[in-house]
Structure 1
């Protein structure tokens, strides 16, 4: 892990003797009901589909035997609904953290996929001028820093145990690349952050010492072409 993972350098074996071990599971929400196929971003009233609710239950089952003491989610409905079965099985309230929210995007509320024409429209070219920042939305570095702050806050809240944070694809993937000290701009098609996936950050003290990834709902995602190409997540 990079220096961004927090903590301090240590001698081999030091962490296991002196640092508290904590795990923060960062969950992407399940499939959203979106018949208009728009980029919903931060728009309100976008809820989980029936399949999405099944995905949330699959995540809850995957986390059923963990030592979870804290559950926190983005304030958007789809994240709160994904967190519900996880929190319920532990008898926990769901905290809200706005730092876990979806990234802002110029194309929010619009159809922006191959064939929609938005990317070929000259009126949008200025917005698309810089994929590195990116020019069409919240800066990657801003996303990374707020997500890392939320990750550390969840670690503190569950110190010595485990926490669950429910967020969105781009923020989660940006956080992971930030912690791994990789460049933040990337090919969206290569993100390892499927619907209802769980990216787990293992801490010793305040330092991230490992990252694990799994997809408890992969069998459900495979049932829906729309889920595989979810927008605005």
Structure 2
């Protein structure tokens, strides 16, 4: 017969320990633009944040208060770089652009209206079997996932034990979260990543990476490091 555990016995933590908090990765989707939800902008230059998007960027910076950030990285696209500006100003950290954080290359679909694309038979493949799809003269979802996973792995290794904030785009962030969770790429469309949202992943040596939050738009981020 096994003796019962005394009521006051401490329970070993299941997540990152206070002794080894690991590397905290925050994946931030850029704020809204004038075409968010209506156009597939891809990597086309010249798309800037809307007033609401700028407010969302400010909110991200406010939510980071109390969290010691070690590095800021961004997709080179304007809407992502503009989202970094309030955080860079508050932290005093420069932003490094990284092509690994870029939006998916939508090829010939770049700039198309989503309503028009949704009428195409290929749209069903995009939604239900994305691992099999390559955008015409563009990137495949599999390539996009491999790219973002490699990029965040390298950035976290460069700042081991620190807090790394990466500003990117919806599909790459969804793919990174799916990979961390072990979710098949064909199911990654079930993950929602809203403009201005933050998703957090913890990397601790000797442990599988842990997804701490997904699509968060309000909670103080300092709580991710504990007291």
Shorter-chain-normalised TM-score: which range? 0.7 to 0.9
Partner residue in 2 for 1:135 = 134
Larger Rg: 2
CA RMSD in angstroms comes to 3.0
TM-score of the pair, normalised by structure 1? 0.75
Aligned positions of 1:174-185 closer than 5 A: 174-185=175-186
Which structure shows the higher helix fraction?
2
1:215 paired to 2:216:
yes
Count of paired positions: 200
Change (3 A) 1:23 1:131: closer
Deviations, residues 180-199 of structure 1 (Å, cap 9, x unaligned): 221102363x3221111111
Aligned equivalents of 1:30, 1:88: Cα separation in 2: 17
Q: Return the alpha-carbon distance in structure 2 between the equivalents of residues 131 and 140 of structure 1.
A: 6
Once residues 119 and 80 of structure 2 are traced to their aligned partners in structure 1, the CA distance between those partners, rounded to angstroms, is: 32
Label 1:210 to 1:121 Cα distance change in 2 as closer, same or farther (>3 A): closer
In the aligned structure 2, how far is the partner of 1:17 from the partner of 1:216? 25
In 2: Cα distance, 1:61 partner to 1:207 partner: 31
2: CA distance, partners of 1:31 / 1:131: 24
CA distance in 2, matches of 1:206, 1:163: 19
Q: CA deviation at 1:154?
A: 2.1
Query: Shift in Å at residue 156 of structure 1?
Result: 2.4
Q: Is the 8 A contact 1:140 1:185 kept in 2?
A: no
Secondary structure at the counterpart of residue 70 of structure 2:
strand
State whether structure 2 residue 105 is matched by structure 1 residue 112: no
Question: Counterpart of 1:70?
Answer: 71
Partner SS for 1:185: helix
- The one of the two structures with greater contact order (alpha-carbon pairs below 8 A, sep at least 6) is 1
Secondary structure, aligned partner of 2:45? coil
Structure 1, unaligned runs of 5 or more: 1-11, 219-233
Structure 2 partner of 1:171: 172
Q: 1:135: how far off?
A: 3.1
CA displacement 1:91-129 (0-9 Å, x = unmatched)? 01000100000001131111122xx3x44468x78x97x
Q: Does 1:193 find its partner at 2:193?
A: yes
Which segment is superposed worse, 200-209 or 45-54?
200-209
Quote the residue 2:155 is aligned against: 154
* CA separation of 1:41 and 1:158: change in aligned 2, threshold 3 A: same
- Larger mean Cα displacement after TM superposition, 46-55 or 103-112: 103-112
8 A Cα contact 1:40 1:108, kept in partner: yes
Q: CA deviation at 1:30?
A: 0.5
Taking structure 2 as the reference length, the TM-score comes to 0.77
Q: How far is 1:215 from its partner?
A: 2.5
- State the alpha-carbon separation in 2 of the partners of residues 75 and 38 from structure 1: 19
